[in-house]
Structure 1
Amino acid sequence: MGTAEPPEAAEWQAAPEATQPPPSSQPWLAYRQHFTFFRVEDEAVDKNIFKDCSNIAFYRRQKQQLSRKSMYRALLDSVTADRDSTRFQIINEATKAPLLAEVYGIEGNIFRLKINEESPLKPRYEVPDVLTSKLSTVRLTSCSGDSGSLVLADGKGDLKCHITANPFKVDLVSEEEVVMSINSLGQLYFEHLQIRLKQRATKENEEDASVDTSQENQEDLGLWEEKFGKFVDVKVNGPASIGLDFSLHGFEHLYGIPQHAESHQLKNTGDGDAYRLYNLDVYGYKIHDKMGIYGSVPYLLAHKLGRTLGIFWLNASETLVEINTEPEVKYTLTQTGPAAAKQKVTSRTDVHWMSESGIIDVFLLTGPTPSDVFKQYSHLTGTQALPPLFSLGYHQCRWNYEDEQDVKAVDAGFDEHDIPYDVMWLDIEHTEGKRYFTWDKKRFPNPKRMQELLRSKKRKLVVISDPHIKVDLDYSVYAKAKEQGFFVRNHEGGDFEGVCWPGLSSYLDFTNPKVREWYSGLFAFSAYQGSTDILYVWNDMNEPSVFRGPELTMQKNAIHHGNWEHRELHNIYGFYHQMATAEGLIQRSKGKERPFVLTRSFFAGSQKYGAVWTGDNTAEWSYLKISIPMLLTLSVTGISFCGADVGGFIGNPDAELLVRWYQAGAYQPFFRGHATMDTKRREPWLFGEEHTRLIREAIRQRYTLLPYWYSLFYHAHVASEPVMRPLWIEFPDALEAFGVEDEYMLGSALLVHPVTEPKATVVDVFLPGSNEVWYDSKTFTRWEGACTVKIPVDLDTIPVFQRGGSVVPIKTTIGKSTGCMTDSPYGLRVALSTKGSAVGEFYLDDGHSFQYVHQKQFLHRKFSFCSGVLINSCADERGRYPSKCVVEQIFILGLKKKPSSVTTHSSGGEDQPVAFVYCAKTSTLSLEKLSLDIGADWEVHVK
């Protein structure tokens, strides 16, 4: 949840009075009256509160300077090399200021380029804690090059960095083809740290064409101070921004750099327009907009036929990304007259990265396949944490469930209406005056009893814990943090104080390892009174959100651990908050149990610590529609465990929209219904019997597919494969799939096309793959691939297709929660390819502990169907996990003729005949009442 734009932004930002909201018996009403947080319906996000490019000084400076010719030259006679890197100087021809460039080869076809001042006045910020500790460098060898160039190759020799001295440029060459060029547009930009002089600039500076030091221009370019509204950002080290361009040859399709409410494929940016990466609390964010919202992953992927690349720009300060695609031109005249020749000009996309501070630290992921790029990125930042099984079920949330009785009644409502769910959520009102790690004694007098009620049905509780801490010396969390100096400081040295939900608040400095260690300890059962081992955590407002701050966030000159300014690390603050929370949940179980932590703010590597959602969306069809590309973008940038608030957080969905959102959410990784405080209650049974039935069916479909979901998350965890996938990942050679964002794959087996238009009676579904067949999961209709089909839809229909050649494991019995389904039977949905074959996998462990790592307590099975035989075999011999479960149902789609017999065969046993039902109309074979051990080898023979 978050804040909305107040109608009079300047007055509200400047208001000096009442650092705490007026007293009220209803805290939310007091806030609403005092700040007018909620927007008027359909009002756009107030640009007086949030910046666009014209308000960002470092953007203006770079654009002004880069209108001139590149001034950088590599000094190749300065080259030195060791086992890890090759280093050389880059000189600015105008200022003669030297930079130090370092090129690294990293295992897995990755190159790293770092550029820093050779001798900065003080160290520049380099992002810690994001990269995994397992990075292994590859020695780069110097190959032949002329006097003005240097060629570096990895050990295999098929990848080369060709460095040109004047002007400085780097070409990345693969198999003699230049696939990427760096600084070919001359947009390398590096502002050196300075000491501010009181007097007029020296003659040398005046002569420097790159810096206009006139007073008027200094103010306009924000060199030492930058104004926005009533806020003044004082920069003690002066301007320190950086920038660099990358040209991707032959590429027109780029994806990534979340988070924006935008299309999955990145769009061209014009003058004064760029994708902004700056974590902000934007309530009811505008869709189809490039402004930054809650999280930032400075990583993009480029894809074309035969090649996928990635660029990971490791910088945690405010970052802007410009994109310009020059599409392919078929023919161009290269000569005139009789000898005129025609030549194909390939497409190119130029990407320009600009950051406010830090160093240039960029990783080039060379693929060549999408799968390779995913592995390369996870090698750098880690894979998606394997979530506890319960967290893949349905979550019920609201700001706020009022009290224990309300929780009890909602919990009972799910049982009464036969709707499974796993997790009840409590928002800020469950605390004592917004003091985290406490309980409102009137509303929640016995939180353990409430949790025991949920435990009795194998359900869990999630509570909110935000980074702002109420200024109150009687509040032990505040008093202890203040005593130990654990808060972010203001630029004058005192504790930073800003307004958030509790009123006047200080903000924990999670960049400090000691603060994270202390905060993790707050989740111990002895410290967090009223908590139990079924309580998990939600980190919100951690951009960080500061209601009276510039852009509703923290001043950039606030001071963190190590004397770093907030501007250096703003985008990584929420990453550290989630890290500390996840570690706390692991510690409280003495390292035995997996955590579940949802965060709103995130950065590259956040996938290691839990889940992410798309923030304060609105109950409108357009927000349902945009949630698909938003989640696809998160998925391809490493964050598989992601979702959008079902129904829309803000406003009141009608019954049709709510049903459609449940249908979509059931097929997206994180599945939570949520709503803000001033909305009507919208539990699934409040919209009439027919709509209750439809929502029940959508949620039950989610639980049916839990074995498949869990297996997908295991693959995301161990093999970096996204759970929710845009079509171009599975069909990298299908050009027509590259821009599709209204449908997606779950794993490699299921294609989902949510209905996102009101009163829809038909949807156009693109089924990719010229050699593929697809089966409608509802009607079993068989479709050929590489075509668009019109699918009739009623309100009870969400088009889902199983890919021919796949086996999908399911649960055949649905319980109250995932925990109630542990021993329920399995089924297999076998969809045959054009060749009559199919393969699939299944992963199982205890669903909650780390025993799958420490003791290899897991089952990993492989299913294959070929020549009429379905085989269950072991996919990983290391795993051992006892399971009472059996496969009781097998359903085979695409079997062209009725078999004469079906038998099962287990090792050491005799063949057993099986009763079957064959439907000639749909070419389906159904086997029921089986009892085949899921963890044992066996075969089913269809003759």
Structure 2
Amino acid sequence: METQLENLRLLFLFLLLGSHLSSVFSWKKEEFRNCIQTPFCKRARHRNPGSCALVAHDVTIVNGELTAKLLPKENHENPDQDHDQDQSKPLILSLSVYQDGIVRLKIDEDPKLDPRKKRFEVPDVILPEFDQKKLWLQKLLTEEDSSSSVVYLSDSYEVVLRHDPFEVYVREKEGKRRVVSINSHGLFDFEQLKVKKEGEEWEERFKGHTDTRPYGPQSISFDVSFYDADFVYGIPEHATSLALKPTRGPGVEESEPYRLFNLDVFEYVHESPFGLYGSIPFMISHGKSRGTSGFFWLNSAEMQIDVLGSGWDAESGISLPSSQSRIDTFWMSEAGIVDTFFFVGPGPKDVVRQYTSVTGRPSMPQLFATAYHQCRWNYRDEEDVENVDSKFDEHDIPYDVLWLDIEHTDGKRYLTWDRVLFPHPEEMQRKLAAKGRHMVTIVDPHIKRDDSYFLHKEASQKGYYVKDATGNDYDGWCWPGSSSYLDVVNPEIRSWWAERFSSKVYVGSTPSLYIWNDMNEPSVFNGPEDMSSGKMIGNAKVTMPRDALHQGGVEHREVHNAYGYYFHMATSDGLVKRGDGNDRPFVLSRAFFAGSQRYGAVWTGDNTADWDHLRVSVPMILTLGLTGLSFTGADVGGFFGNPEPELLVRWYQIGAYYPFFRAHAHHDTKRREPWLFGERRTELIKEAVHMRYMLLPYFYTLFREANTSGIPVARPLWMEFPSEEATFSNDEAFMVGNSLLVQGIYTERAKYASVYLPGKESWYDLKTGAVYKGGVTHKLDVSEESVPAFQKAGTIIPRKDRFRRSSTQMINDPYTLVIALNSSQKAEGELYIDDGKSFSFEKGAYIHRRFVFSNGKLTSHNVASNAPGGAQFLSECVIERIILLGCSAGPKNALIEPENNNVEIEMGPLLLKSKGSSSFITIRKPNIPVASDWTINFL
């Protein structure tokens, strides 16, 4: 009988989803709360500038930090008086400074006054070692009028606490120009926890759902100003332009703030401030006159952020303490505390480096993960997998990873296999591994409530599930039907979950199997923010109730945006444990939060096969990179819908330059493997994939740079050209590292493309070598063969030009160096190599070379910081070809030095005739070891 009921539930789910799921679940903004329907946002937006009346009192230095009490102005003269529930209690402010231009400001309720509960502070995001960079404050300076206290930050900057009304800002020591500030407009508000009075209404209702709100209103809001800024960026995830547009102010049409609330939104629309799958409350400002600064609020509750247009405060009547130009923003959160960080830059890379020194550098991926991935919901069975795999070989298209979606499981029970469709999973994986390929399977956070399912049985017995407001295991509806969700906020439960990935527990898995975490916002079909009053209709994929309970009585509202982060963390740790700490994990996550870069890759979610979604993929990926997430991409071809062949080809051509390169599609779409669109289009897709494989050494080197510095692989143009205003709002083109510029084609049947090539130096067409002047917008003819891509003069790019079935089979292949000389006949670049899979590189087992061309010589230098006697990595690879672009002298031959190993090599000059013709010289088979010191003297 129980089995029949389960089958009926699954049938109901299937009928409800049906074959028209993509159209039924189309995005409708009216199905989600807007600011007016969100009480904390509505209250905050109604505050007027200057309404904050808090005064800093008892300012002193304690344990190396500036501390103060924030009191309402009316209580300022009697700060020690008793405070009953009708009066505001003092807030405790602490301000600490750190190396490399970082300031941390915390404001919370005074724990001595015994609030009903401790307000939530987000754990396990800030690196433990970050606190070691704290600068121990010794003294406090008071400005002449005694209105402000000043503390040291660095030789160039200082931090100021203004007392009345309270304000915190960073300024330059010389000239006293401001960089970034909080509460300059007096919009700070902190709703303190209190005891509910008789007749007081705390509950909130939205479309049939009730949020019990047992602790009442607890929101926080404040203004943040960025000085001498032209634009602000960041705060993903939104399908919008790279430069954030004003949401309030004169002439602003869009009235909604940028929302940060992790939600599973089907077929999201572009150019909307609506929040999507992940949230990172980190904003970067950039301007020509001052440079770059940043602001981060460590808070995992729902957040709404306004970018305030010029003149928004014209009628406020307040007198601002600075006449500098600025961009004002307004930050609102439902719960939590003020735990904020200021980053002074002054350059774009400085700010990203500073932010990732707090939240962590991106993890170093395995080499295979940086190559091409083939995915679909779903490859049907083992025969389907084998056919797809063999077709890639038949058409000479390399790939590294084949993915399986939810249908590979036994009734949506994760870490299991449908033994009818996939009877021999280990053998299937081993066949792929024999070609150097890997498999990824999906593992979502919802656990099917089935007493015969080993995961549910153990989690239920151990009490590992999130609870509902009544204290029972939360029961939500997702792909398996009735489901519960692990309380991964609890480190004990994360550790337990990590152990589930051992081969003994995950039967049928092998060491070449890796993991995909989807639906981890968490997505719940019958959650509070749909139109359905509990029934799964319309856009039903929403999330968990805010009053659900986690470890220690933490409400889900307080931790919501970090739930997927913790699940991602636990899964990644599980793969590390599975490999006894020797195998780098690969875990793709849809939900993310600050710090997610430490655990793997993310993608932009369920996009659609249209030109607008191709277009918006670039600013979405660039924004993720700016906020620490370097290993990112968008579903090539679009998840929903059937792309026209031209769109699919264009998507492959630009997707080949995404840091994470994966094709993926919904199960209702037509099959779209690369060979299904005619011979010519197959050839074009193959060329795009081959380009990615050719550039893998360059990409891998960039991933190592991200791993050590936080600087992303894909970068906005202004990150490399920070003083060029023409780049500040350009998000149709992007840099891959510091050497490549890629311009997408975003319209069908395009004949021309306008491409701005920044800088004073020339650029070389990546395919033809044709040279183009920098600092100019070029109107270029567009062919179907590729998107415009250029190498910057003055750079050296390493490549591998032999094509194999997978990146794994290319490991011992020789290298090509492409040298693009600048006007001074100089260039430089780097190459990083390790074993591509283990953590041995952390012990010094890697090769890192810097190539420098100057004065007619190409030299290879070792820049690895290998400790004597430490781990070693050896490579017998050689450089088999050197391509020299823009060489004016026209050398006839070359000599490899040092003299005890002199080898004279031949060169073959080639002349390409095209628009902006350029000659280049090819050195064939110098066969010099890639890991050695050497010099080639061009004669």
More deviation, 717-726/422-431: 717-726
Deviation at 1:919, TM superposition (A): 2.6
The 8 Å contact of residues 897 and 923 in structure 1, kept in 2 or not, is answered as no
Structure 1 residues 766 and 20, CA gap change in structure 2 (3 angstroms): farther
2:97 is aligned with 1:105: yes
Q: Which amino acid aligns with 1:687?
A: F
CA RMSD of aligned residues (A): 2.0
Q: Distance in 2 between matches of 1:559 and 1:144?
A: 46
Residue by residue over 1:638-660, the C-alpha shift from the partner in whole angstroms, topping out at 9 and shown as x without a partner, is 00000000000000001100000
Q: Distance in 2 between matches of 1:372 and 1:243?
A: 28
Q: Secondary structure at the match of 1:172?
A: strand
2:886 is aligned with 1:889: no
Q: What residue in structure 2 maps to residue 492 of structure 1?
A: 470
Match of 1:860 among 843, 848, 862: 848
Deviation at 1:38, TM superposition (A): 2.7
Q: Distance in 2 between matches of 1:257 and 1:744?
A: 19
Q: Distance in 2 between matches of 1:691 and 1:433?
A: 37
2:8 is aligned with 1:30: no
Q: Distance in 1 between matches of 2:613 and 2:839?
A: 37
Structure 1 residues 734 and 706, CA gap change in structure 2 (3 angstroms): same
The 8 Å contact of residues 45 and 286 in structure 1, kept in 2 or not, is answered as yes
Q: Distance in 2 between matches of 1:643 and 1:557?
A: 33
Structure 1 residues 28 and 837, CA gap change in structure 2 (3 angstroms): farther
Residue by residue over 1:486-540, the C-alpha shift from the partner in whole angstroms, topping out at 9 and shown as x without a partner, is 0000010110000000000001111011111111001001111000000000000
2:356 is aligned with 1:378: yes
Q: Distance in 2 between matches of 1:779 and 1:345?
A: 51
The 8 Å contact of residues 849 and 863 in structure 2, kept in 1 or not, is answered as yes
The 8 Å contact of residues 743 and 789 in structure 2, kept in 1 or not, is answered as yes
Q: Distance in 2 between matches of 1:324 and 1:908?
A: 67
* Aligned ranges 1:423-572 → 2 under 5 Å: 423-551=401-529, 552-572=542-562
* Aligned ranges 1:402-441 → 2 under 5 Å: 402-441=380-419
2:117 is aligned with 1:122: yes
Residue by residue over 1:882-905, the C-alpha shift from the partner in whole angstroms, topping out at 9 and shown as x without a partner, is 112110010010012421322222
Q: What residue in structure 2 maps to residue 923 of structure 1?
A: 919
Match of 1:827 among 816, 819, 826: 816
The 8 Å contact of residues 884 and 921 in structure 2, kept in 1 or not, is answered as yes
Q: Distance in 1 between matches of 2:709 and 2:615?
A: 29
Q: Secondary structure at the match of 1:506?
A: strand
| Structure 1 runs not aligned, ≥5 long | 1-17, 200-214, 219-223, 329-343
Residue by residue over 1:662-720, the C-alpha shift from the partner in whole angstroms, topping out at 9 and shown as x without a partner, is 00110110000000010000000000000000000000000000000000000000122
Q: What residue in structure 2 maps to residue 872 of structure 1?
A: 860
Deviation at 1:907, TM superposition (A): 6.1
Q: Distance in 2 between matches of 1:712 and 1:569?
A: 33
Deviation at 1:563, TM superposition (A): 1.1
The 8 Å contact of residues 22 and 640 in structure 2, kept in 1 or not, is answered as no
Deviation at 1:198, TM superposition (A): 2.0
* Aligned ranges 1:306-345 → 2 under 5 Å: 306-326=290-310
Q: Which amino acid aligns with 1:320?
A: Q
* Aligned ranges 1:808-823 → 2 under 5 Å: 808-823=797-812
Q: Distance in 1 between matches of 2:96 and 2:53?
A: 21
Q: Which amino acid aligns with 1:871?
A: T
Q: Distance in 1 between matches of 2:390 and 2:351?
A: 46
Deviation at 1:187, TM superposition (A): 0.7
Residue by residue over 1:400-444, the C-alpha shift from the partner in whole angstroms, topping out at 9 and shown as x without a partner, is 000000000000010000000000000000000000000001000
More deviation, 107-116/418-427: 107-116
Q: What residue in structure 1 maps to residue 681 of structure 2?
A: 691
Q: What residue in structure 2 maps to residue 195 of structure 1?
A: 195
More deviation, 52-61/583-592: 52-61
Q: Which amino acid aligns with 1:681?
A: R
Structure 1 residues 158 and 922, CA gap change in structure 2 (3 angstroms): closer
Deviation at 1:47, TM superposition (A): 2.7
Q: What residue in structure 2 maps to residue 613 of structure 1?
A: 603
Q: Distance in 1 between matches of 2:169 and 2:29?
A: 40
Q: Distance in 1 between matches of 2:231 and 2:394?
A: 49
The 8 Å contact of residues 225 and 326 in structure 2, kept in 1 or not, is answered as yes
The 8 Å contact of residues 97 and 153 in structure 2, kept in 1 or not, is answered as no
Deviation at 1:148, TM superposition (A): 4.0
Q: Distance in 2 between matches of 1:242 and 1:922?
A: 59
Structure 1 residues 327 and 667, CA gap change in structure 2 (3 angstroms): farther
Q: Distance in 2 between matches of 1:75 and 1:534?
A: 58
* Aligned ranges 1:705-724 → 2 under 5 Å: 705-724=695-714
The 8 Å contact of residues 44 and 286 in structure 1, kept in 2 or not, is answered as no
More deviation, 168-177/49-58: 168-177
Q: What residue in structure 1 maps to residue 377 of structure 2?
A: 399
2:151 is aligned with 1:153: yes
Deviation at 1:19, TM superposition (A): 10
* Aligned ranges 1:94-243 → 2 under 5 Å: 95-118=87-110, 119=113, 120-135=115-130, 136-140=133-137, 141-146=139-144, 148-154=146-152, 156-175=154-173, 176-199=176-199, 224-243=202-221
Taking only the aligned residue pairs, the percentage that are identical comes to 43
The 8 Å contact of residues 70 and 167 in structure 1, kept in 2 or not, is answered as no
Q: Which amino acid aligns with 2:549?
A: I
* Aligned ranges 1:248-267 → 2 under 5 Å: 248-267=226-245
Q: Which amino acid aligns with 1:928?
A: R
Q: Which amino acid aligns with 1:128?
A: P
Deviation at 1:96, TM superposition (A): 4.3
The 8 Å contact of residues 102 and 342 in structure 2, kept in 1 or not, is answered as yes
Q: Distance in 1 between matches of 2:275 and 2:231?
A: 21
The 8 Å contact of residues 79 and 87 in structure 1, kept in 2 or not, is answered as yes
Match of 2:839 among 827, 837, 850: 850
Q: What residue in structure 1 maps to residue 33 of structure 2?
A: 51
Task: Give the TM-score of the pair, scaled to structure 1.
Answer: 0.91
Q: Which amino acid aligns with 2:847?
A: L
The 8 Å contact of residues 905 and 926 in structure 2, kept in 1 or not, is answered as no
Q: Which amino acid aligns with 1:860?
A: H
Q: What residue in structure 1 maps to residue 639 of structure 2?
A: 649
- Number of residue pairs the alignment of both structures matches: 882
Structure 1 residues 756 and 907, CA gap change in structure 2 (3 angstroms): farther
Residue by residue over 1:808-848, the C-alpha shift from the partner in whole angstroms, topping out at 9 and shown as x without a partner, is 00002011000110111110000001100000000000000
The 8 Å contact of residues 884 and 922 in structure 2, kept in 1 or not, is answered as yes
Q: Which amino acid aligns with 2:475?
A: E
Match of 1:938 among 922, 934, 939: 934
Q: Distance in 2 between matches of 1:844 and 1:112?
A: 37
Q: Distance in 2 between matches of 1:128 and 1:877?
A: 33
Q: Which amino acid aligns with 1:121?
A: R
More deviation, 110-119/90-99: 90-99
The 8 Å contact of residues 162 and 171 in structure 1, kept in 2 or not, is answered as yes
Deviation at 1:44, TM superposition (A): 6.2
Q: Distance in 2 between matches of 1:672 and 1:594?
A: 19
Q: Distance in 2 between matches of 1:752 and 1:51?
A: 38
Match of 1:72 among 24, 36, 53: 53
Match of 1:902 among 894, 897, 906: 894
Q: Secondary structure at the match of 1:246?
A: strand
Q: What residue in structure 2 maps to residue 739 of structure 1?
A: 729
Deviation at 1:941, TM superposition (A): 1.6
Deviation at 1:918, TM superposition (A): 4.0
Deviation at 1:570, TM superposition (A): 0.1
Q: Which amino acid aligns with 2:37?
A: N
The 8 Å contact of residues 23 and 30 in structure 1, kept in 2 or not, is answered as no
Q: What residue in structure 1 maps to residue 68 of structure 2?
A: 88
Q: Distance in 1 between matches of 2:671 and 2:573?
A: 34
Q: Secondary structure at the match of 1:685?
A: helix
Q: What residue in structure 1 maps to residue 268 of structure 2?
A: 285
Deviation at 1:797, TM superposition (A): 2.0
Q: Secondary structure at the match of 1:861?
A: strand
Deviation at 1:282, TM superposition (A): 0.1
Q: Distance in 1 between matches of 2:270 and 2:5?
A: 32
Q: Secondary structure at the match of 1:574?
A: helix
| Structure 2 runs not aligned, ≥5 long | 75-86, 250-254, 313-321, 530-541
